[in-house]
Structure formats: C-alpha cells, structure tokens
Structure 1
C-alpha cells in the first residue's frame, strides 16, 4: 500500500497524519545508504599490486612513466599520422562515443528529478444525477488546473540516483577509452605487419637469388661434366620451395593493408598505397618505459570501468534504502472546477498548497529484500573490480616476460643467421672449386633459408610483443 496525501486536503485527520509523516521524513533527513569509498580490501589497494613489476628488472625495460602517445617512441611520422586518423575516424570509436553521449543524457535526465515539475490538466464531463429525472444531456462540467511539485529529497533517493547515473556514465567513458587503447595498438600492429611482411619478402628474395645462382652454377657444371642431372633437380627444388613461400607472404601483407584501412575508417580497397612497399618496420632504439603497478592501476581504462561500476552499485543500495522513508515534496495546485458557465468565477476557483508525501510503509519486507539485492550486486561489482585488476596485472607481467624472452631469442637468431650466411658462402666457394659435394652446399643453403625465415619471423614477433606491452600498460586513451 502506498499512502499519498493531496496538497489540498484540509481535514484535521489528514493534517495530523501529514504532520506525523513529515516529521518521520525530517528525522530521516540524510542520504540513505553507504557513501562510496575505495575499499581497503580491494586488490588495487594491496602493496603487491602497486609495486614494481616482477619482470620489470629486465634490460629491455626502464622504470619511467609511459607516454600518453606511446607510438611516438618509434619516431615514425607515418605511424603517428595513421594512429591520429584511426582515433578520429574508427567506427568502433564512433559507436563508443555515441554510447557515452547517451549515458551523459541519462545523467541529465536523472538530475532533472531535483527540479520543479509541473502538470497541466483539463477535461469536461456531463453530469446528470439519476434521481433528478431531468432531460438530457444534463450539466456540462469542466476541470482545468495546474499542479506543481518540488521534491525535498529528504532521504537522498534522488542524490543516490544521480550518483548511480554518474557512475554508469563514467564506466561508459572508461569503456570508450578502452576502445581507444585497442584502436591505437591495432593500428600500430597493422602498420608494422605491412612493413615486416615486406621485410620477410626481401629476406626470402635474397635467399631465392642465392639459390638461383646455385642452380645456374649447377647447370654449367653439368654441361661441363662435373655435375649430374640429380644435382640440377635438387637445386631446382630448392628454388621452387622458396618461390612457393612468396604468395602467402604477399597475402599476409595484403591482409595487413586491409586491416589498417578498416581501422582508420576507410574501405579496404582504399588502403594507404604509400606504405605498400614499406621495407623497414618501426623500431625502438631504447628500453621500454613501463612504470609500476600503481601507475598501471591508475591508467588502465578497464580497471577504471570496473571501479566506476562499483560506485554505481554502491549508490543503488542508497536508492533501495531510501524506500524505507517517506518521499516528501512541496506541492501546490490551482484551477477551476465546476459547470462551464461558472468557469472564471471565484466560486469555481480552487487553490491548494502543502506537502506531497508518498510512503510504502506496509511493504518494508519488500524494501529490505531490495536492499539485500543491491548489497549483493555491490559485492559482485567489488569481485569484478578485483578480477579486472588481477587480470590486468597478469596480462602486463605476461607481456613483459614474453617481450624480454623474444628479445633474447631474436639476438640468438641474429647470430645464427650470420653464421648460416658465412657457412653458405663458404660452401658455395668450396663447391665451385670441387672441394665439397653438392649435398653439403644444399644443406648450408637450406640452413641459411631457415635462419633467414626464423629471424624475419622473430623480428615481426618482436614488434608484436612491443605492442602487446604498450596495450597491456593501457596507454593511448588520453585525449
């Protein structure tokens, strides 16, 4: 049952009841529910989560703040331009911006609940008492009036509703920022993928050129009686195998071009043609600045999104708790009621002023159940906040370790490639002078092919790992 007293009620009984309920409302003149504060027991507040990263001691990293625009560390103007274009035109970001505008409008709608509300009404009716046995149609009555109400918000229900809407809007803003992180990272990754694909193609072309030279030498030796048809066939097989790698490498480059075009808001066929022949991927010449766990927690948008969701969930407890107390507004009404012939006269005019009180006092068990539901939702939001923080720390530690280890692997592969190149050159010289057999030459060239391919793949993966680190650190959303 919901009791509502009209502002124009004038009976002594109603006035006494109204005064009693108003007194209860004034007694509860606080903001219902708990005030939000960052929970001390949250994972984000633990010293272990705010200290240095476990993998941060590697030589590949430095304990320095991550720049907002981390891609500028590469010193590549084309990369800077592509990221700027993506952040301005990406379709996912446009959708995220629209979601944020909607959330801001919800905040404005809820905040409007604190302002004066007005209701205009009117209507007509035909009144013919049955006992009068008079002729139809009877008396034509009219009712015209205006009602005003201003919420006092003694229990803080509206304040908590505004806090909820603001928390939700801030969570949406953080989600939008998380999209910016992803867009910046994937744009850099796609640009680098185009350049590394060309680098792999160039490495394969060098090996292929060497194998073709070997095939030519083998044919000449066969014609001179120093080689066999079997040697020529094996040399041609090596050439064919290397040539077979080219189509897939071209397809990889094309896919990266299409992906980059989509990220910057263009049709795939309108990819930036000027980078189709990019031969050298962007490279860092200094250790990566990574900061520490405290900086990560402050910067990661997904952590902020989870924390703002906890703010909104806490405020919803206050909304539910406010139903334990009367909802009081100051109200007034004025208008004309009576036969149409009397409209405008003082006898038809009515005016009322007083409190409007609404209270669900018989349904307190229902309200208590809703409070319990809101409290459980807040506990769930806290658990999600902790989970998001832990996942962010795990993702960052994993990215740091993977990049450091790939750097070690890349250095070893570079040494292996240099050794394989020397061995292949030596084998070629020895074979031409008849100092070694053709199988040894093919083995050396096959080793060089493998070393070249492994190093090129590692170079590409190393840049991928760098982007993983920057994305895990949550950089790039700042406007």
Structure 2
C-alpha cells in the first residue's frame, strides 16, 4: 500500500524541452528591405585575396583554441558512447588464486562432525551478467543528455571556427590598413617638410614671421609622431595573424607582410530573416542543446524516484586445485531479477528533481538570452556598418576637396595672393583629411568583419582539426621538459 502510494505520487519526465519565450521578429535587422538570402558561407572569399583564403584555411586546421575545442568534442562523444553502452548487458569476469578457507570448506567441515576446516590453496573463476530493462527511462534520459552535450560541444567548436576566421580576416585587414595609414602619414610628413622648407625660405627672405616657422615645425613633429604607432599596430596585427594560424608570432605570412592596400568588398549581401540567422549561429545551437540536456536530466531525476530492476545471473567456480575448477560440486550459479530502491530516503531524490527543474528554468532563460543577444548583435553590427560606410564616403569627399584646396592655395601662394600661414593651414587641413580617410577605411573593414561574424557564417565546410600525437620523448632542446 505504501509503495503504491509513493509510486502514484511520483512525477513524470517531460518528453521534450520547452520552447523559447522570445517572439522572433521577421527581420534580423529591423529593416525589411535588406532581408533575403544570407551571405556566402566562406565570406572571406569576397575579398578576392587567395593568400588570405589560404591563411584562413590554415588557421581553421591548426589553431590551438580549435584543437582544444576538438578535444572537448571528442570527450563529449566518448561520454555519449559510455552512456549508450550502459543500456546493453554488463558483464564482469573474475579470476583469482589465494590461500585460506571458504564457506564451502566450513560447510563440509560441519557435515563431518566438526572436523577441522580445510585451509589451503583456493582457485576461483566467475562471471556475472546484468541488464537493466530501464522501465522508467533513466538510461534513455542519460543517453539524451549525453547526446545533447556532444551536440553542444560541436556547436561550441563551430563558434570557435567563426571567431578564428573572423580574427584572421580582421588581423589581415588591420595589417594592410595600418600599412596604408603609415604610407599616408609618410606622404603627409613629406608634405609638411616641404611646407616647413618653404616657410623657412620665406623667413630668410623676410616674408614670413618666426611664429609661422614655429607652426610649420610643429606640424612636421605632429605628423612624424603618428608613424611609430602605426608601424607598431601593423606589427601587432601580423603577430596576431601568425598566432591565429598556429604559427610562432615571428613566422609572419609573407603576403600579409607585403600588403599595403586594404582589400574591399562592395557589399556584405543580404542578412536573411531572423529564423535563418538563429539557425546559422552556433552559440544559439549550443544554448539550445544545453537546454535539451537539462530537460533530459529531469528524466534522470524522475527515474530515481522509482526502483531499479536489474535482471542478471552469475556463475562461480571455486576449487582447491586448478584441475577441480570444472567439477560440478565446485560450481555455483544464480539467475533472477534484482530490485534496488532508495527508500525511505526519497527526499534526496525529490530534492534532485527540484534542482533539475530549476536547472532547466535557468537553461531556458539562458537560451532566451542568447537569442536576444544574437538579434541585438546582428542589428547593431548592421547599423554600425551602414554608418561607417556613410562616414567613409563623407571623409573621402572631404579628403579629395581638402587636397584640391591645398593645391589651389599653393598656387595662390606662389602668385602672392595668399600668405605662408594660409598655405601652411591648407597643408594641415589636407594632412588631417587624408589621415581621417585612411582611418575610416580600416573602421569600415572592421565593421564588415564584425557583421560577417554576427551573421554566424564561416563554420560550414571547415577543414577537419587534427590533434597531434603527444611527444613524450626527452629532448634537450625542449623549452619546458616534463618533470619525471
């Protein structure tokens, strides 16, 4: 009566995880005019740089973060295999040899009117077989949880692939962009030095003031000061590029080191609708699988409220001599069901069930949060990119007009229609406009990469990650030899 009451009060496990509470918009960016087919999977090919394509492929195969993610995936897959194996019959084979007496020896001695118990060598051989029918779904839920964990690990590895591809592309563009900005700065420095020489000649002729000479020298110093940081930014980008590809920071790809002009794409292409975006993003898939795993753990907790029934059998043979292991008198066998139930401490099992349900509620909240973050990320990156493009166009126009104004001012100065100070200010304006335009080019390139990353592409059709064979040899040149 008590057992039936307890069984009737037990909860049932959910058959599937809950749906998200987020109402998905039809558009991923809020602008219905830009929706449609998503951009190319390997979006970095849009830059039409074969060397960049080859370096991204190298990074996707050799990056160390990806190797760690691959190892985590292999571990999750192994745990899935272990969970599946638990649904099959379990066997246990034992063999032993020792000295002493056994229960059989004691029974034999008792049957002989209390004669001495035999003590001596003893050889044992046994086999046990057990199978759990999984009447209440504990093993099935364990397999579902392990399968979801493996899929989550696969999604997290895909997320690392996106980060690596975007990181390589951005580092490449940064290296090219900093080189271009440094070239513009050197051109601006040459222009400023020519202006200084002109003012110095005018000062010698009595046509310029000492203040105008000082301003010209100030402009030269300010323009020269920008060059070292631009060169350092380029070197930092090249080192980042090498490490992302699994190389030493000094092993810089020659093509990247030689690049001095930013490759561009005319457009990123349409974004795609919100549902398609969420299917592409591995972080959303990982959160979904975590929710699925938490739901499966509820099934495990529910099954713990019920008894476990194991059908098994065993065979044992024990003999004082190896030759007697096959004799029937030395053999023992059994077969039948085994009932195991954690009663009366069912409070602990119900506490685990409450914890599992709370974990599912947290996983659902996290899933909703990842969806909202993905939609926000895409919208913001698309908005930033559009703003950067408009800014780039305006700064290019400003640089072109400023350069034309500077040339006109120089002609006016040569004709005596403008002062040296006016010509110097025109030089300064032209230098600033050229530098701003070059900087805008880098910002647009970075915004492009950020948008591509937000769109979730780049993990498809990626090369396999191969883990190296551990080298455990003792090497004198090893920087960190293992301790013995």
State the TM bucket, normalised to the shorter chain: 0.7 to 0.9
Task: Kindly state the Cα deviation for residue 280 of structure 1 after the two structures are TM-superposed.
Answer: 1.4
Q: CA deviation at 1:398?
A: 0.8
Indicate how the Cα distance of structure 1 residues 40 and 91 shifts in structure 2: closer, same or farther if over 3 A, else same: closer
CA contact (8 A) 1:55 1:400 kept: no
TM-superposed deviation, 1:146: 1.2
User: Take 1:243 and 1:327, find their aligned partners in 2: how far apart are those partners?
Assistant: 79
Pick the aligned partner of 2:277 from 285, 290, 296.
Answer: 296
Alignment partners' CA distance in 2, 1:55 and 1:436: 51
Deviation at 1:203, TM superposition (A): 1.6
Equivalent position of 1:11 in the other structure: none
* Contact 1:62–1:291 (Cα < 8 Å) also in 2: yes
2:101 maps to what in 1? 126
Within the candidate set 382, 392, 396, 1:400 is matched to: 382
CA shift, 1:339, in A, is 5.7
CA distance, structure 2, for counterparts of residue 261 and residue 424 of structure 1:
41
Is 1:391 equivalent to 2:373 in the alignment?
Answer: yes
Partner of 1:351: 333
d(CA) in 1 for partners of 2:150 and 2:19?
Answer: 24
Matched, 1:95 2:72: no
* SS class of match (1:289): coil
Match of 1:313 among 294, 298, 303: 294
- What is residue 411 of structure 1 aligned with on the other side? 393
Alignment correspondent of 2:473 = none
Give the equivalent residue in structure 1 for 2:474.
none
Are residues 1:381 and 2:363 paired? Answer: yes
- 2:475 corresponds to which residue? none
CA contact under 8 A between 1:62 and 1:288: conserved in structure 2?
no
- Quick one: structure 1 residues 226 and 343, their matched pair in 2 at CA, closer, same or farther if it must change by over 3 Å? closer
Q: How does 1:16-415 map to 2 (within 5 A)?
A: 33-37=13-17, 39-43=18-22, 46-48=23-25, 50-55=26-31, 57=33, 61=34, 63-122=36-95, 124=98, 125-126=100-101, 138=119, 143-337=124-318, 343-415=325-397
Provide the secondary structure at the position in 1 that maps to 2:380.
helix
2:428 aligned with 1:436, yes or no?
A: no
Q: Is the 8 A contact 1:306 1:384 kept in 2?
A: yes
For structure 1, which segment, 355-364 or 160-169, has the greater mean C-alpha deviation from structure 2 after superposition? 355-364
Shift of 1:364: 2.4
Once the two structures are TM-superposed, the CA of residue 141 in structure 1 deviates from its matched residue by 5.5
**d(CA) in 1 for partners of 2:264, 2:81:** 47
**How far is 1:432 from its partner?**
2.0
Paired positions, count: 450
- Post-superposition shift, 1:291? 0.9
Q: How far 1:324 moved relative to its partner? A: 2.2
Offset at residue 262 of structure 1 (A): 0.5
Single out whichever of 94-103 and 210-219 deviates more from structure 2: 210-219
Deviations along 1:26-65, one digit per CA (max 9) or x if unpaired, are x99xx9611114x34432xx242x43421464xxx56322
Report the alpha carbon displacement of residue 289 of structure 1 after superposing the two structures with TM: 2.5
Q: Structure 1 residue 136: deviation in Å?
A: 8.2
Gaps of 5+ in 1: 1-20
Deviation at 1:235, TM superposition (A): 2.2
The answer on whether the counterparts of 2:152 and 2:289 sit within 8 Å (CA) in structure 1 is yes
Change (3 A) 1:223 1:62: farther
Q: How many angstroms does 1:392 deviate by?
A: 0.9
Q: Quick one: distance in 1 between partners of 2:178 and 2:367?
A: 40
- CA shift, 1:411, in A, is 1.2
Q: TM-score of the superposition, structure 2-length normalised?
A: 0.86
**Residue 299 of structure 1: how far off its partner (Å):** 0.7
Aligned residues of 1:32 and 1:155 also touching (Cα < 8 A)? no
* Counterpart selection for 2:428 from 446, 449, 458: 446
C-alpha distance in 1, partners of 2:243/2:20? 43
Q: CA deviation at 1:223?
A: 4.0
Give me the TM-score of the superposition, normalised by structure 1: 0.87
Identify the range of structure 1 (132-141 vs 97-106) with the bigger mean alpha-carbon deviation.
132-141
Of residues 420, 445, 450, the one that matches 1:468 is: 450
Separation of aligned partners in 2, 1:67 and 1:236? 51
CA contact (8 A) 1:261 1:267 kept: yes
CA distance in 2, matches of 1:463, 1:55: 22
Q: Distance in 2 between matches of 1:207 and 1:241?
A: 10
Cα pair 1:56 1:400 within 8 Å, conserved: no
The structure-2 alpha-carbon separation of the partners of 1:228 and 1:138, relative to structure 1 and needing over 3 Å to count, comes to closer
Shift of 1:343: 4.5
